[in-house]
Structure 1
Amino acid sequence: MIFAILLIVNQITSSVAYTYIGETPCSGLAIGSCTSSGISGIGYCYWESSCQTLPCYMIDEVAACRTGSGLATGGASTLCDSLETFSLQYDNVCCDKSEGKLNYAFVRYTKTSDGYYDKASDGTTTLTSLTTQNSATIFQLYTVNPWLIMPSLTSLPTAANFESQLGAILTQYKTLATALQTMPDSHPFYLERTVYQSLQMLRDFVVLQTTSQNTMRDNLVQKIWSVALIALFRMVNFQPNYYQTNYYFINFAIIPYSRNSITINGQQHTTKIDWSGYLYTSNGYLMVYSFPPEIFGIRNAYSDVVCLRPMIGNPPVYAAAQNTFDTGFKPLTITWSWTDTSMSVVAANLKLYKFPVNTALETDILQEAGVTFTCNLGAKYCVSSSITSTPANTGVNYFVSPGLGVVGDKNKVQCRLQGKTWSGTCA
């Protein structure tokens, strides 16, 4: 009798009729129904051995994240909240419940669907044929559309094809480095755009993989940073006194040594690099890009990662080997300030971490020895002691954090972005 009652209850529960967009929980959908309609998962579910909820930042259907106030309970609302405000700059409509706001590390720029990923927009000029160092060629390169490598989050290329296709575009930018830096009609924006497109696709592709993709990721990261560096050199020629732009999860800046400091904006915080104690004998430039550590699964960071690429020369001369940066660029101080009123900062816990420019794995992250912080908690800023270590000739990444935490604390997204295996927990 008890078994019969349970069977009836189960049948009633499993046959609940959902009638509103985004209402059906992903876990209740079979392979044939997962993402079959707006009611059954389109925009918020995906298939990974079973029908699962997309990471909150990837969700396009805001109804799936809403609950309460007379609304139908969204199918993803146990994990995600809808954002309070939307922007036409990005596609995000939901966020993790634990965050309560948009995390800049996971902004998704809107993808365009025109053109080709392996040809110029004329449909006949192949990507690999774009080798002439002139304006006409770089304008054709600008029309190659990397978004088309991965137009959908639910229909992915193989890892080999993803690396090959995105890598080919980035390689062609490196091939045309001379023209991209020197042609008077080469605008830095097109290089910056290629960097944020590539970072976004790489981040999202890795998050949706069930097996570690460290080699593929590291290969592409190195090429992405190579294009970022070409962009920085172009900025020096384009607007030499100062240039700075922000794209949520990747920011760029160049400034002459003579300015003594630069401040980089992050999400509810800033990082100021001060080299006023550096007694340089030749003029040069500090070239910087920065990014939220969590785009590579690094947790608990207070500041963005700031990549310092100082170089002597006015203007500095680009070297494809990327190993001619100023090793005399010291001493430095770093000032980190914040506006987030929910933060509780303990000066004694703050540490400065560094890692090489060609990696983002936590196994390569080291604490900068001997550096401490003095804080004015009322004014919400902390200043490092003097950083006197000799920087690598390839540049260095710095960020401020109270500690990296443990792998087991990572969620699924963070876990995969750090190249770990997710099976309900991170290992």
Structure 2
Amino acid sequence: MIIIIFIALICNCYGQIGQTICSDFYESECFQSGYCYWDDFQCNPQPCHLVTEQNACRTGGALQIGCKPVSYTPPQFVASCYSSAYTKQKIYLYRFISDLSPEDRFQTSVTIEQPSVEAMEKLYKLDLLSSSNFELNNILDSYLNQAPILIGEYSHPYYLERAIYESLQNVRDDLKIIKSERSDTMIKILELIDIYYQRLNTYSEKYSTFYNFVNFNHIHFKYLGFSFQNLIELSWTTYPENGFFSLTVIYPQIFGIQSAVSPIFMIRTTNQINLQYTMKWAITTTDFVQLRRIDLVSMNLYDAEYLPNCISGYCTVSVYGPGNYLFVTPTIPDNCSGITDLTLCILAKCNIVSNACV
């Protein structure tokens, strides 16, 4: 009889995991729940992709109405949930797991000396994913101060790539920062991307790597072009001098941009050489589309001075020099009050009031 009662108690406790609504938690319980967060006043439900306790998204769970558990998650990502408004997890919402050693996890500050290989190696052990926005900015400042070493032969590109995608993930998932704070951090992330491509100039003539919501491509002008995942082709016939063409592909949804029908194509050329090239994008929508520029600090979109020719499943446009471009459906708004996807509302650093974005 005692054994039966003990088993029953275990089953009852297990059944309660993920079922308590967030507003019933005190602060310490809120942090430990795996599906709630504390906003200085009360405990609130996490956005689905930030949930780590999948029971909360299952039948009987506290978030069962708004979230569903991801059935399979690749090992490099955190197992989480996805919004019931979606049919599956969006590629831009997966969360990387830190590959730091256990003793380095949650280490978010260190004393950094003058630029040196030893100081660079200390930077590599800092946990950007768990950093507050204040700590993240300090870490990025340290990376920028180490630029002379980071562009040198002792720096491997992977560690810069990791710092970039982890910083972007941190900014995407920080529920407390406002737009101006995101802008301040983005300035530093963009500077780090520039340092990264300087490193690639001496690392390889042809290089690409993929990290879901941000991907990197770097190629010498002499190759006269390349394609990215059958999504976009970039080509040129001549070049005024030797140099490199760099393409960073970023999913605009991580910034809450609703109108986008393509990734952001962040294009850089060595010394801002005014290279003339052609972009050929494979159309992914039946809607009318336009090419827009985007300011990756303010996240404002502007009409591009180039008009694409969209026919037979492709949009082709001739472009000069560096720039940040994306294709959008111009009738879809990106201001807070016009965002209908509540996940994008959160990523745009807007607020949700009465189930509407404001």
- One-letter code aligned to 2:328: S
Q: Which runs of 5+ in 1 are unaligned?
A: 1-16, 68-72, 120-125, 151-161, 312-323, 339-343
Bigger CA radius of gyration: 1
Tell me how far 1:291 sits from its aligned partner. Answer: 1.0
1:352 maps to 2:295: no
CA distance in structure 2 between the aligned counterparts of 1:374 and 1:330, rounded to whole angstroms:
19
Partner of 2:58: 66
Superposition CA RMSD, Å: 2.6
Provide the residue aligned with 1:84 in structure 2. 71
Say which of 18, 24, 27 aligns to 2:19.
24
CA distance in 2, matches of 1:411, 1:92: 22
1:25-424 superposed matches below 5 A: 26=21, 29-32=23-26, 35=29, 42-48=33-39, 49-67=41-59, 73-111=60-98, 112=100, 113-115=102-104, 116-119=107-110, 126-127=111-112, 129=113, 131-132=114-115, 134-150=116-132, 162-163=133-134, 165-183=135-153, 185-205=154-174, 208-209=175-176, 213-240=178-205, 242-265=206-229, 270-277=230-237, 279-311=238-270, 324-326=271-273, 328-336=274-282, 345-346=286-287, 349-356=288-295, 358-361=296-299, 364-369=300-305, 371-376=307-312, 381-384=313-316, 386-388=317-319, 390-391=320-321, 395-403=322-330, 405-406=332-333, 407=335, 408-424=338-354
Gaps of 5+ in 2: 1-11
Q: 1:331 to 1:195 in 2, by over 3 A?
A: closer
CA contact (8 A) 1:34 1:46 kept: no
The structure carrying a bigger strand percent of its residues is: 2
Quick one: which amino acid aligns to residue 173 of structure 2?
D
1:278-299 CA distance string (max 9 Å, x none): x322121111211110110001
State whether residues 265 and 324 of structure 2, in contact with CA within 8 Å, keep that contact through their aligned partners in structure 1. yes
Q: TM-score, normalised by structure 2?
A: 0.85
Q: Is the 8 A contact 1:300 1:405 kept in 2?
A: yes
**8 Å contact kept, 1:243–1:253:** yes
1:292-326 deviation per Cα after TM superposition (whole angstroms, max 9, x unaligned)? 10110001322111100012xxxxxxxxxxxx412
- Seen in structure 2, the aligned counterparts of structure 1 residues 103 and 273 have a Cα distance that, compared at 3 Å, is same
Quick one: structure 1 residues 94 and 404, their matched pair in 2 at CA, closer, same or farther if it must change by over 3 Å?
A: farther
Provide the rounded CA distance (Å) in 1 between the counterparts of 2:125 and 2:78: 22
Task: Tell me, in whole angstroms, the C-alpha distance in 2 between the residues paired with 1:370 and 1:409.
Answer: 27
State the aligned residue count.
Answer: 338
Task: Give the CA deviation at 1:368.
Answer: 2.1
Bigger drift between 228-237 and 415-424 goes to: 415-424
One-letter amino acid matched to 1:217: R
